[in-house]
């Protein structure tokens, strides 16, 4: 395994992070615990979850992924071996069952942290993330900002103050954002700088061969402001595994079980995947190896969040950390990106 230090912290994390959104819906608790055991054995020390997980979000499975991780901590006593990240969900996603007030304020942040700590069976969270903006922005399946009416009022400073209070209490250690825009990330950074408040360490956004929109704006912010990307959906819901290029139906694949994630299943996404698969074969790689190694190669990526539904997938994903991208491979990837740019927003 390879490791790095999360920006603006003293936390050493594995360059591959275990994502847990399948825990409790596609994976049983015993299967999830087997994944956690295997990941730790292979050197992964970074686990990401969220209060809303598993996904797709349902009232029946709200918080279950955190509970499964907490039970694993209780069973194995390995909490101190893990860098633990979780997230608070906000408005704009129709998750009213989580709490009465979905805005980010002192009451809701404190409440959500307490609930997560209880489910995770821990006293602290290493990285606490705002799962998406309160304002209507950066919706899934959308490449650029579209003006929409909302009643959001500027509260970046206040949110940072509330998070600072939680840090002072020892309940969270560091902060991050997720599904954020360049403007939103810069506002958090500027308000933190201006008022001597906590600095955002990471941003967790989608990034894959089929969605490189992060490179437009956000990659420069991360480079110049020392913020690390936690890249999620690097396999584009399994489309970049290559299994959909075989002609088989794969009825239990996430993209078929949950058709609401159709952004990864467009004709352009399938065509781009086919072309990337041809590059992989040319250089003696699988499409999975090409896809994850490309993400791991990027200097602005602190850790790549991988998810799997079985140990075979997990092993293949972890093994990609040893692959080196050559300039020739990267050049051919750029040719496809120029031909079919960002087909899965």
Kindly list the catalytic residues: 53
Please enumerate in sequence order all residues whose Cβ is within 8 A of that of 322, keeping only pairs 6 or more positions apart, or say none: none
Q: Give dist(CA 113, CA 313) in Å, integer.
A: 32
Instruction: For residues 227 and 192, give the distance between their C-alpha atoms in angstroms, rounded to a whole number.
Output: 13
Distances (CA, A) of 288 to 145, 232, 270, 319: 30, 14, 15, 10
The CA distance from 133 to 9, in Å, is 23
The span from the CA of 133 to the CA of 110, in Å, is 18
């Amino acid at each position: 395994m390879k490791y790095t230090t999360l920006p603006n912290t003293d936390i050493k994390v594995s360059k591959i992070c275990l994502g847990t959104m399948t825990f409790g819906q596609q994976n049983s608790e015993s299967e999830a615990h087997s994944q956690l055991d295997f990941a730790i054995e292979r050197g992964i020390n970074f686990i990401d979850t969220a209060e809303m997980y598993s996904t797709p979000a349902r009232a029946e499975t709200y918080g279950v992924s955190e509970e499964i991780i907490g039970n694993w901590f209780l069973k194995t006593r390995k909490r101190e071996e893990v860098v633990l990240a979780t997230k608070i969900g906000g408005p704009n996603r129709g998750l009213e069952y989580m709490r009465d007030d979905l805005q980010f304020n002192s009451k809701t942040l404190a409440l959500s942290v307490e609930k997560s700590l209880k489910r995770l069976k821990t006293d602290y969270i290493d990285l606490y993330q705002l799962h998406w903006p309160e304002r209507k922005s950066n919706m899934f399946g959308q490449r650029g900002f579209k003006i929409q009416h909302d009643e959001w009022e500027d509260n970046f400073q206040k949110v940072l103050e509330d998070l600072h209070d939680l840090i002072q209490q020892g309940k969270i250690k560091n902060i991050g954002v997720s599904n954020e825009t360049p403007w939103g990330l810069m506002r958090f950074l500027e308000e933190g700088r201006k008022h001597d408040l906590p600095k955002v360490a990471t941003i967790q956004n989608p990034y894959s061969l089929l969605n490189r929109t992060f490179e437009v704006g956000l990659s420069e912010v991360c480079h110049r402001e020392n913020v690390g990307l936690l890249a999620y959906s690097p396999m584009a819901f399994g489309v970049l595994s290559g299994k959909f290029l075989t002609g088989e139906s794969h009825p239990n694949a996430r993209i078929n079980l949950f058709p609401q994630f159709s952004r990864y299943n467009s004709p352009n996404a399938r065509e781009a995947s086919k072309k990337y698969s041809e590059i992989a074969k040319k250089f003696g790689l699988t499409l999975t190896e090409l896809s994850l190694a490309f993400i791991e190669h990027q200097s602005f990526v602190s850790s790549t969040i991988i998810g799997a539904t079985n140990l075979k997938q997990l092993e293949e994903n972890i093994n990609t950390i040893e692959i080196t991208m050559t300039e020739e491979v990267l050049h051919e990837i750029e040719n496809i990106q120029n031909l079919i740019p960002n087909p899965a927003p």
